[in-house]
Structure 1
Amino acid sequence: MGTVWLIIAVAAVGVAAGAAAGLALGHATRDVHGNGMIAGSTLERDGLIPVLAALSSTVVLLDDDGEVLRAAAAAYTYNIVRDDEVSEPQVAQMVERVRATGQAEEAEITVARGRVAGAGNFHLQVRVAAIGRGRLLVLVEDRTAARRVEQMRRDFVVNASHELKTPVGAISLLAETVRENAEDPELVADYAGRMSRESRRLELLVGDIIELSRLQDGDALVEPEDVNLDDVVVDALDRVRVEAEAKEVALVSGGTENLHVLGDAALLVTAVSNLLDNAIRYSDPRTRVSVGLSVDAEDPELVRIAVVDQGIGIAKEAQERVFERFYRVDKARSRMTGGTGLGLSIVKHVAADHGGTVELWSAPGRGSTFTLLLPRHRTEADLPGPAPEAVEAVASGAAGASFAAIAAISEDPAARRQGPPSGMSRTGQEDRQ
């Protein structure tokens, strides 16, 4: 009798184990990250995996309950999929309509690049279709680059041709004058210097147009790298140090160390160096230009790179336009300083390309603060932040407060004693680009 009960008990345990294994296998057919299937899944038996892998589009495959069976990594980058379900409302609505009608649907949608307001958008072509057994296939084509190229072409035709003609025309007239007055050495020397300045201006303009073109075609978030912002600041300061010394402008840096973002280090260096160059260009001798790193006071998942100057400041009505391509507040001053009108536009593009934005605080007579606001990438090497008062001052966006915070963390004792000036000797508006 005991033997019979033993056999029954063993059989019961076997049935339970088999059921548990079956359930485990059923759940295991879905990749926990939503971007692949394991061997033996129903998709593999149906022969769908090779077909989906052959598609050039970003693929999202949904089951009859709307859960994600398979999703390409880019679907997460585009913020379409999160936690094994469709998270983008526009795509979710398309899925519901296709499930209700059985008719395929296609649309071009715009989705935010990240959580930072004003960080830019992805432009996506989305097609949703039923493929049987209650499954739906979502195909996504990224049209962002095409949109950028189209926009750049329009801007180039409207603006760049005129901007290029100005220095070229000036050089031509100056050369003609020199040729007609070759016997006058003073005039020749004067006009040769003017031609040199116009050539330099043309060189800078062409360089900025090429840089802006490169930004239009690229995307820092497609294959991002871990970027230490300390290295970005060091490289950016090295780029502008000669110009700062020539103008007797002191460079100060500080803030929270070891902050990281995901993106393109070279582009970030370009953006920060453009802000520094802009600040130096419109600062008086024996003043300071400061750059500080901090964690955003309201959102610890965001970082700030603030560039502070002690210049004349920008009028309120001009602040809304300084990031436009070729916009200049004062064209005459721009010709004198060699500004191209593209520097801040490049900064804005780099910020948007990294899922961030750029902010401006400025007041006439009190200087300006340009701040890159970027999503933070946490690493195991993250260090404790600075004193709360320093973070709050840098994150506030006020030029005076930002300068005080950066001066407070500088190793230069004089920097700790010197506050922002109450006013500058210049009058009028500056071309901030």
Structure 2
Amino acid sequence: MPDQSLSSIVIFAVFALFALAVFAIVALKLWELVGPLVDRTLQGASVAEYASQRMRRFKAQRRPDDEDNLEDLPDDTATLLSMLTVASIVVDAQDEVVRSSPDAYRLGVVQDDAIAIDEVMRAVHEVRAAGGRRMFDLTTSTPERFISMPSEAAASTGVVETASVRRPNWLKVTVGRINERFVVVLIDDVSDAVRFGQVRDSFITNVSEQLLGPTEALVVLADNLERGGADEERIARDARQVRDSCEKLNHMVADLLLLIKAQEPVTPSSANRLDLLEQVRHVADQLRPQAVAAGVGLHVDGDEGVIVNGEVDQIRTAITKLVENAIGYSPQGKSVSVAVSRAKTGDHAMVRVLDQGRGIAKEDQSRVFERFYRGTEQTSRTENGVGLGLAIVKHVALTHHGDVAVWSVPGSGSTFTLSLPLAR
């Protein structure tokens, strides 16, 4: 009798395992059929995120006769908000964001269906309680997920790249009450105007400072000529000083004009499609004599047919600044490589400029894209620069909806990567 019981248990266990295996196979086959449909439905979101989206839509679309009998946003108000050129956010009585422009997320004001800035939330509470409106200035940072950039070099080496786009957003915020339930937040992004004003002020300040050099050199030369008796060698030395000061001033003014020009975003169109490798080859041909004079090799390679939308002079200027920078910091006998490729993500083109110089100190890497910033490690070929080259590259990248990043280890050279969206 015990043997029969044991046999029954074994047979039951075998059938149970067999049933589980059949269930697993059926489930796998079903997932192969249903999985793509689920992915299309979720559109890349997690199940939790998708459920949250559906709940928001339900709350925004529910009618007055729903069980909780809550008043929805009036149709005329919703239509008006959709016509505004500024970003808008609608907050309900529970402080939940029920409607929001995409820019509100990009500017860091809304996160996870809620107001992410305490100052804005306080203004919402004040307006809901007392009416009227509140107007104030606000500075935010763009969330990390909106400034991601392909960083294949960093992934392969384990070294973090320093990207250039971490810049503040300057906003003018207006908060007002729609009715007893809803409060609206209007966000006017004035960042471009503020940045343009900063460049203009930098232009005036730095040109004024740089004018002192040629002026002082001219005064010295004039004094020596006026007194007479100065030897020709001294006169020639003073004249060279005047010429060098004027050349530096002219170079700085030209760079500042380029920086001002690279402030307005470029709109992609069929008229501004560019072959990126063709632009790189053009720049290399222009700079090859400079590389030869410095004793530095210059090599170009990359994928054919990588097309981007861009303003040709700005793209060439950005590439020129990167290659000039690499040549300037490369020792004699070393080489600079420029490569064009498509990012593994499939949506960006990348121009990588690699040098074999001394690299960039860690404390300088986060600042190299600032206007007029000069690193601590200068060479005889870079000591007369004004610190605008990489700032120009940064702004060209941003106006083309791209980015620029640096990877560097002191003693191992540097790699600058210009990333631009592929033309569609």
Q: What TM bracket, shorter-length normalisation?
A: 0.5 to 0.7
Q: Trace 1:156-167 onto structure 2 (pairs within 5 A).
A: 161-167=208-214
Return the match for 1:345 from 387, 391, 404.
Answer: 391
Contact 2:124 2:175 in 1 (8 A): no
Amino acid at match of 1:288: S
TM-score, L = length of structure 1: 0.58
Amino acid at match of 2:325: N
Q: Residue 112 of structure 1 aligns with which residue? A: 142
SS at match of 1:293: strand
How far apart, CA to CA, are the structure 2 residues paired with 1:269 and 1:286?
26
How far apart, CA to CA, are the structure 2 residues paired with 1:94 and 1:227?
47
Q: Residue 417 of structure 2 aligns with which residue? A: 371
Q: CA deviation digits over 1:81-139, x for unaligned, max 9?
A: 99xx9787449968975896584454524241832365234322232433349665442
Q: CA deviation digits over 1:237-261, x for unaligned, max 9?
A: 3543442344353321223444455
1:168 matched to 2:196? The reply is no
Name which one, 1 or 2, has greater alpha-carbon Rg: 2
Contact 2:135 2:173 in 1 (8 A): yes
Contact 1:167 1:201 in 2 (8 A): no
Q: Residue 291 of structure 2 aligns with which residue? A: 244
Percent identical residues: 30
How far apart, CA to CA, are the structure 2 residues paired with 1:164 and 1:263?
34
SS at match of 2:387: coil
1:313 matched to 2:352? The reply is no
Q: Residue 200 of structure 1 aligns with which residue? A: 247
Contact 2:404 2:416 in 1 (8 A): no
Q: Which structure 1 residue ranges, 4+ long, deviate > 6 Å from structure 2?
A: 73-77, 79-82, 85-88
In the TM superposition, residue 165 of structure 1 has moved relative to its aligned partner by 1.9
In structure 2, relative to structure 1, the CA distance for the partners of 1:336 and 1:207 (3 Å cut) is same
How far apart, CA to CA, are the structure 2 residues paired with 1:182 and 1:333?
37
Return the match for 1:278 from 321, 325, 346.
Answer: 325
Contact 1:178 1:191 in 2 (8 A): no
In structure 2, relative to structure 1, the CA distance for the partners of 1:87 and 1:256 (3 Å cut) is farther
How far apart, CA to CA, are the structure 2 residues paired with 1:52 and 1:187?
71
1:141 matched to 2:188? The reply is yes
Amino acid at match of 2:258: E
Q: Residue 220 of structure 1 aligns with which residue? A: 265
Amino acid at match of 1:270: T
Q: Trace 1:181-200 onto structure 2 (pairs within 5 A).
A: 184-200=231-247
In structure 2, relative to structure 1, the CA distance for the partners of 1:139 and 1:330 (3 Å cut) is closer
SS at match of 2:178: strand
Q: Trace 1:260-409 onto structure 2 (pairs within 5 A).
A: 264-296=311-343, 301-329=347-375, 333=379, 338-353=384-399, 354-364=401-411, 366-372=412-418, 374=419, 376-377=421-422, 379=424
In the TM superposition, residue 274 of structure 1 has moved relative to its aligned partner by 0.8
How far apart, CA to CA, are the structure 1 residues paired with 2:336 and 2:183?
56
Amino acid at match of 1:209: L
Q: CA deviation digits over 1:314-339, x for unaligned, max 9?
A: 44454454444333346985687642
Q: Which moved more, 1:99-108 or 1:165-174?
A: 99-108
Q: Residue 413 of structure 1 aligns with which residue? A: none
In the TM superposition, residue 212 of structure 1 has moved relative to its aligned partner by 3.0
In the TM superposition, residue 342 of structure 1 has moved relative to its aligned partner by 1.9
Contact 1:321 1:327 in 2 (8 A): yes
In the TM superposition, residue 184 of structure 1 has moved relative to its aligned partner by 4.6
In structure 2, relative to structure 1, the CA distance for the partners of 1:329 and 1:282 (3 Å cut) is same
1:124 matched to 2:171? The reply is yes
In structure 2, relative to structure 1, the CA distance for the partners of 1:76 and 1:249 (3 Å cut) is same
Q: Trace 1:69-80 onto structure 2 (pairs within 5 A).
A: none
Amino acid at match of 1:58: V
How far apart, CA to CA, are the structure 1 residues paired with 2:422 and 2:109?
21
SS at match of 1:363: coil
In the TM superposition, residue 169 of structure 1 has moved relative to its aligned partner by 2.1
Amino acid at match of 1:309: D
Structure 2: give runs of 5+ residues left out of the alignment: 1-57, 62-72, 149-162
Structure 1: give runs of 5+ residues left out of the alignment: 1-26, 31-41, 380-433
Amino acid at match of 1:243: Q
In the TM superposition, residue 60 of structure 1 has moved relative to its aligned partner by 3.6
How far apart, CA to CA, are the structure 1 residues paired with 2:288 and 2:386?
20
Contact 1:178 1:187 in 2 (8 A): no
TM-score, L = length of structure 2: 0.59
Q: CA deviation digits over 1:223-275, x for unaligned, max 9?
A: 45565433442443354344234435332122344445566554333222111
SS at match of 2:340: strand
Contact 1:292 1:307 in 2 (8 A): yes
In structure 2, relative to structure 1, the CA distance for the partners of 1:105 and 1:187 (3 Å cut) is closer
In structure 2, relative to structure 1, the CA distance for the partners of 1:291 and 1:95 (3 Å cut) is farther
Contact 1:274 1:347 in 2 (8 A): yes
How far apart, CA to CA, are the structure 1 residues paired with 2:279 and 2:113?
36
Amino acid at match of 2:320: S
Amino acid at match of 2:372: F
